[in-house]
């Protein structure tokens, strides 16, 4: 039985990766993280996405296994950034956005690797990418490859880190979702997933909920517009 553990935040990218995994693996488990993020509403949204997937895709529901959320709130205590405190989003002096949480994806993947080790899973699936990634260094392909090597050396395992979105932009992620689950999956992505850095679920846009002005909302809005331009409709 082929198994995978998906790093699932409840956002557009991780939802696409979850669908991708459900198409390929016999059993899929999910893991999320509470790291003191401002947009902690995403933890509620991830539960709604999982429920919607189970309801609309019975074949996938049979494959969906255990879900867990790991408490990493200590990260918010040491990460002085706009994702873990009430601060205006801006560029830092080094050119990185102040939404960068140092080591976040590294810690997520190491934590997920430990869970996968215990669960007998040899595939981790994550939605990081270099195309629409805001310059975060822990989303780069070289970073993931290096971490995979270090993790396997340190744990004496043969884990494989899968990154199905590494070279896709947001428009291509919408296209991938439609190819995997048609209009039903796109509906889930637009209605249930969360992207907005400010945690705004009060303003509804054609591309989903959010403030509409933070970098995450802008990427998603532009990607959806490009997707519609290419396809004409969902």
For residue 210, tell me if it sits in a domain. no
In a domain, 189, yes or no: no
Segments forming the whole domain that contains residue 129: 3-170
Residue 207 lies in a domain: no
Give me the number of domains the chain comprises: 1
**Contact of 109 with 145, CB cutoff 8 Å:** no
Per-residue pLDDT at 133: 63
- Answer whether residue 224 is part of any domain: no
In a domain, 231, yes or no: no
The CA R_g of the chain, rounded to the nearest whole Å, is 17
CB neighbour list of residue 135: distance below 8 Å, 6 or more residues apart: 95, 96, 97, 100
CATH of the domain at 55: 3.40.50.620
83 pLDDT exceeds 70? no
Counting residues of the chain whose pLDDT is more than 70, the rounded percentage is: 91
Give residue 123's pLDDT band: very low, low, confident or very high (50, 70, 90). very high
Interhelix angle for 170-191 vs 215-231, to 10°?
100
225 assigned to some structural domain: no
Give 68's strand partners: 31
Stretch 88-102: mean pLDDT: 71
* Structural domain includes residue 209: no
Over residues 137-142, the mean pLDDT reads 91
Q: Over range 147-162, report the average pLDDT.
A: 97
Between 231 and 188, residue with greater pLDDT: 188
DSSP H or E stretch at residue 68: strand 64-71
Q: What is the mean pLDDT of residues 22-29?
A: 98
């Amino acid at each position: 039985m082929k198994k995978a553990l998906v790093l699932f935040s409840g956002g557009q990218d991780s939802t696409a990766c979850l669908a991708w995994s459900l198409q390929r693996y016999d059993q899929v488990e999910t893991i999320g993280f509470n790291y003191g993020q401002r947009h902690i509403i995403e933890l509620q949204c991830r539960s709604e996405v999982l429920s919607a997937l189970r309801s609309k895709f019975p074949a996938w529901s049979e494959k969906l296994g255990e879900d867990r959320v790991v408490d990493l709130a200590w990260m918010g205590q040491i990460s002085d950034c706009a994702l873990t405190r009430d601060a205006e989003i801006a560029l830092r002096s080094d050119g990185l956005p102040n939404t960068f949480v140092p080591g976040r994806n590294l810690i997520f993947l190491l934590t997920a690797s430990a869970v996968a080790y215990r669960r007998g899973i040899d595939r981790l699936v994550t939605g990081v990418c270099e195309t629409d990634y805001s310059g975060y260094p822990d989303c780069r392909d070289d970073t993931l490859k290096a971490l995979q090597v270090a993790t396997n050396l340190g744990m004496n395992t043969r884990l494989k880190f899968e990154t199905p979105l590494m070279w896709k932009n947001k428009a291509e992620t919408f296209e991938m979702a439609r190819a995997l689950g048609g209009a039903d999956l796109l509906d889930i992505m637009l209605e249930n997933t969360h992207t907005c850095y400010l945690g705004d679920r009060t303003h509804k846009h054609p591309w989903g909920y959010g403030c509409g002005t933070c970098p995450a909302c802008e990427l998603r809005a532009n990607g959806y517009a490009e997707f519609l331009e290419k396809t004409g409709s969902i």
